[in-house]
Structure 1
Amino acid sequence: MLEAAFESDDVDELRDSYLGGACHALALAVAERTGWDLALVWAARGRRTEIAHAMVVVPGDEELYLDVGGIRGLPEILDDLRTDPDEEEAIIEGPVGPERIHALTRGRHAHRRFGEIGPELAQHAAETADRIVAALVTELKSGSAPRP
């Protein structure tokens, strides 16, 4: 899906950005445009649990998610996040609303992986979400939406 919406050079940059800490901004922007629920991935290693990723839940299939990599299942997302299933347990929290993600960006509940979403990041995430949603609509109309 991303290949249809972006130049090939842009795809690598977007993946780095939205898999490397800005995923919550993109997930919020996509959810705002689609009305779809959000989900969080937590990675547990021993007694330590950290937030790993934010994404949008694909309606009708709670095992598919939409993020910067397109529509895909959790195993592919975890692979992109370099989460080792032998060492870390992935825990899905969801569906959640935007307020849950915002709570993870501020106050005593702030999580270091989910920084505050400033105007520049919000604008970039909005533009990226517009292109992802447009590509998704095109694929759904053509009947070729990806399935893992």
Structure 2
Amino acid sequence: MPEAAFESEDVDELRDSYLGGGCHALALAVAERTGWDLAIVWAAKGRRTEIAHAMVVVPGDEELYLDVGGIRGLPEILDDLQIDPDQEEAVLEGPVGPERIHALTRGRHAHRRFCAIGPELAEHAAETADRILRAIWISPNSLKTCCP
């Protein structure tokens, strides 16, 4: 993420928040503003597969994603998530729509779902999505009026 748009301690706090459990709320907020597809990273932990991250697919390049770290490739995202592809298998699911993310907030297996998005998280994610989109020179308002 272009850090010039954020205070340095703010960047650390945002990265902790959206790499440590709220990524799906941020991804949904960005997708709502842009209309872009979403993707999910699953990580195999022994015999169990866990949800690791949600992000937005950058249109025109299905190998670039937008998350709290800005626009970047999967290897950099996996590094941020501390997933070593040599030690554990990472599987990308996508592109998916918002309904898939919402479906993954429900279910009985905690390792296979995202936490529920309460009003506070939704509001913070919306504000953060606007800031990230402004930081990468994309106006949320122009996307709503000009683009599908």
Q: Aligning the two structures, in what range does the TM-score lie when normalised by the shorter sequence?
A: 0.7 to 0.9
Is 2:104 the counterpart of 1:98? no
Counterpart of 2:123? 123
Q: Is the partner of 1:43 in helix, strand or coil? A: strand
- CA shift for structure 1 position 47: 2.7
The one-letter code of the counterpart of 1:76 is E
Q: Distance in 2 between matches of 1:37 and 1:3?
A: 24
Name the SS of the counterpart of 2:44 in structure 1: strand
State the Cα deviation string for residues 55-111 of structure 1 (Å, max 9, x = none): 000001010000000000000000000001111111000000001011111244765
Task: List gaps (5 residues or longer) in structure 1.
Answer: 139-148
Q: d(CA) in 2 for partners of 1:85 and 1:105?
A: 26
User: Could you tell me how far 1:5 is from its partner in structure 2?
Assistant: 2.2
CA contact 1:51–1:111 (8 Å) conserved in 2? yes
Q: How many residues align?
A: 138
Give the structure-1-normalised TM-score.
Answer: 0.87
- Counterpart in the other structure of 2:145: none
Please tell me the residue identity of whatever aligns with 1:38.
L
Identity %: 87
Q: Deviations over 1:11-70 (max 9, x none)?
A: 000000100010000000001011100000001244321110000000010100000000
Give the aligned partner of residue 143 of structure 1: none
Preserved contact between residue 25 and residue 125 of structure 2 (Cα < 8 Å): yes
Following TM superposition, by how much is the alpha carbon of 1:113 offset from its aligned partner in structure 2, in angstroms? 5.5
1:32 is matched with 32
Instruction: Quote the Cα distance in structure 1 between the aligned partners of 2:111 and 2:104.
Output: 5
After superposing the two structures, state which structure 1 stretch, 39-48 or 5-14, moved more.
39-48
Q: Distance in 2 between matches of 1:84 and 1:67?
A: 19
Moved over 3 A (4+): 107-113
Counterpart CA distance in 2 for 1:34 and 1:4 is 22
TM-score (norm 2): 0.87
User: Structure 2 vs 1, CA of residues 33 and 110 (structure 1 numbering), >3 Å: closer, same or farther?
Assistant: farther
Q: Secondary structure at the match of 1:105?
A: coil
Paired amino acid for 1:121 = L
Match of 1:115, as an amino acid?
A: C
CA contact (8 A) 1:2 1:11 kept: no
